Structure 1
Amino acid sequence: MNFSFWSDNELIQVSDSLPENFKRPPVEKYTVNYNQIPYTGYWGLCAAVNRALDEGFPITEPFFYAHITEQELAHIFRSDSSVQIPLFEQRLKILHETGRILIEEFQGSFLNLIKSANGSARTLLKLIVDHFPAYRDEAVFLNRKVTFYKRAQILIADIWGCFEGQGIGYFADIDMITMFADYRVPQVLKFYNAIEYSDDLKSFLKRNALLTSGARYEIEIRAASIVSCRMITEKVRKMIDSEKPVIINGIQIQKPIINDILVDFYLWNYRVDNAAEIDSNSLPFHKIRCIFY
């Protein structure tokens, strides 16, 4: 369910001829109030899931969501604003499809799929993409197939992070996972000039126009973000390696690890914490409505 949370009213056209002091009206978003706290975007989804569990809906169980009704899901995802969750029909279809596959091929448990990967992130990624069509985040660029697999990779990264790389969260090759190419992290990379946009692309983004999935601009933004984050990771690794060992009471402290996952987590959270500054001093994020991010 982790995809497409921005609101349609963010597509308001902004003309270059408007005065400099022009302020766009506040954007109403999909909002879920949980424990008297309003949550939007991805956190709104998490709040909706927690609210559903509190109400007795076993929303995390494949045997339930494989047969969930439209009415049940509409209730679970109900918004506390006038903006409903986008792509509702696609979310319903994906829940049915994913639940059915888990039941028929993995005895109703995603844990069985994780175990079959034998501690390999690369193997688990292939298993996810091969078995679940909704995770096949692929496109064609200059007559070549390119793959991003944003949601499949973040699924693995979340398991690794939640279990702190131990037990079912251990993956010997976790560093093969790239950053998760979406629309928020590229905005932070652009804000810090880690990536640069052509004049044509800048003009397009300023219009808040809607991109189609697989469009050249979209592929280039996502690909540049992956390369940029990998370069950041490599740079930080060199900085860490150059530091002198820290020894406390005769014990050498292990140096911190760094990979593209942690870089992405940092940048995504930075965007959330500094949304007003980034939105006012950078280009709008690229708008696209799809199930992949």
Structure 2
Amino acid sequence: MANKKKKSSALDVKESLEAVKFIEKYAIDVWIDLEKLKKFANSIIRFLTENKINQMKKLLNTSFRPKHYPNFTKETVDWLFVFHTLNFSLFYPQGIKQWRAGDKDGFYALSFAIKRAIDNEKPLWDPKYYSKLTLNELEDIFRSDDGETTIPLLNERLTALHQIGNVLLEKYKGTFKNCIKSAEYNSDKLIKLLFDEFEPYRDEAKYRNKTVRLYTKANSLVSDIWACYKKKNRFHLNKENMMSTMFIDYRSPIVLFYFKVLTYGNKRLQKFKNNDQPLKHGDAEELELRACSLLAVNKILKQIEKEWRNKYPEYNRQNILLLIDNYLLMNIAYRFDKYVCDQHPLRYIESVYY
């Protein structure tokens, strides 16, 4: 995690949607099929409108987020900060036994393990506790169901916890709530604060001599923070700048690939098929796959907005984006078997940034 923040000229930096569009423009062997995308967007619309009330409620709640998300208490924001910080690289390459906890894998296993630790009186939301954790203690927190496998990148997770914990204790009186206050309850300011202050949120790379920042982990955290405060109308979410949170479980692009919304060239498909090595953050292939996935969801969002503008004015951009993200997660849960998941390259990523 030695990715130090570098100063760049404003002209050399592309952020969020601008970065995604820039990467997609030059992507090699991966592209968005606009005809298939339109059909997929229409299938989502049909799915929702056939049973509007029930489906809307189902997809707008947290049923496809971890079951172990906490109820909204005074610790919730700090819990979410820890969860999103640790939500990276949760799978091993094909052929290696996967880490499971609570009979789940991926981010569901992560949330189970965190809740299990808290239930066992280990205050994993408190930086005074997790900034002092040892490797053995963290290994016990993330112990697997079978007692044989370990969570991937355990050392990097320990480093991440120490980094964020020390910053909170030194600058924000030991709680992430003070970061939100410092950002004036504004999503854009909070994303910038996360990038500037916390190394695990510094989602930055070089692509064609430009600095690109996708803020994938920060966007997912900010979306959950908004959900905490939305009843109080306290947290200002810039809905124009918000990106999909599909990478909270980075198997979601499998849905786009399966429905041919995303297409990979034969050369790239063969390379992934014959190579068990994980993709690494900042590599051109990783950036292109991620950017095309995010831009595809943005285009689906616009298609649904266009169809719903007059029909359902009560559903704003953020709600529709949440519907799409949860629809992708629902497809992973109910449609795809392990074999299909294993064939997709974004299953295996070596990164602390998402």
TM over 0.5: yes
Aligned residues: 262
- Structure 2 partner of 1:158: 224
TM-score by length of 2: 0.69
Question: What is the CA–CA distance in structure 1 between the aligned matches of 2:334 and 2:171, rounded to whole Å?
Answer: 41
Describe the SS at the equivalent of 1:30.
coil
CA 1:92/1:282 → structure 2, altered by over 3 Å: closer, same or farther? closer
Question: What is the CA–CA distance in structure 2 between the aligned matches of 1:72 and 1:46, rounded to whole Å?
Answer: 17
TM-score by length of 1: 0.82
CA 1:32/1:124 → structure 2, altered by over 3 Å: closer, same or farther? same
CA 1:66/1:6 → structure 2, altered by over 3 Å: closer, same or farther? same
- Structure 2 partner of 1:201: 268
Residue identity over aligned pairs, in percent, reads: 30
- Structure 2 partner of 1:103: 169
Q: Which consecutive unaligned segments of at least 5 residues does structure 1 have?
A: 13-26, 246-253
Greater helix share, 1 or 2?
Answer: 2
1:4-153 matches, within 5 Å, as: 4-8=89-93, 10=94, 12=95, 28-33=97-102, 38-81=103-146, 82-153=148-219
Q: Report which of the two structures shows the higher radius of gyration computed on alpha carbons.
A: 1
Q: 231-240 or 181-190, which moves further after superposition?
A: 181-190
Aligned-CA RMSD value: 2.2
1:256 aligns with 2:342: no
Question: What is the CA–CA distance in structure 1 between the aligned matches of 2:268 and 2:256, rounded to whole Å?
Answer: 15
1:219-230 matches, within 5 Å, as: 219-230=287-298
Question: What is the CA–CA distance in structure 1 between the aligned matches of 2:165 and 2:335, rounded to whole Å?
Answer: 37
Question: What is the CA–CA distance in structure 1 between the aligned matches of 2:342 and 2:262, rounded to whole Å?
Answer: 12
1:285 aligns with 2:345: yes
Is the contact made by 2:160 and 2:200 (CA closer than 8 Å) also made in structure 1? yes
Question: What is the CA–CA distance in structure 2 between the aligned matches of 1:106 and 1:144, rounded to whole Å?
Answer: 32
Q: 176-185 or 94-103, which moves further after superposition?
A: 176-185
Describe the SS at the equivalent of 2:263.
coil
Choose from 248, 266, 270 the match for 2:331.
270
Deviations 1:131-155 (A, max 9, x none): 0011111111111111111111111
Structure of higher RCO (CA pairs closer than 8 Å, 6+ residues apart): 2
Is the contact made by 1:162 and 1:169 (CA closer than 8 Å) also made in structure 2? no
Describe the SS at the equivalent of 1:225.
helix
Runs of 4 or more, structure 1, over 4 Å off, are none
Describe the SS at the equivalent of 1:139.
strand
Aligned amino acid, residue 114 of structure 1: I
Choose from 235, 241, 244 the match for 2:303.
235
Pairwise CA distance, 1:159:
1.4
Describe the SS at the equivalent of 1:196.
strand
Aligned amino acid, residue 236 of structure 2: F
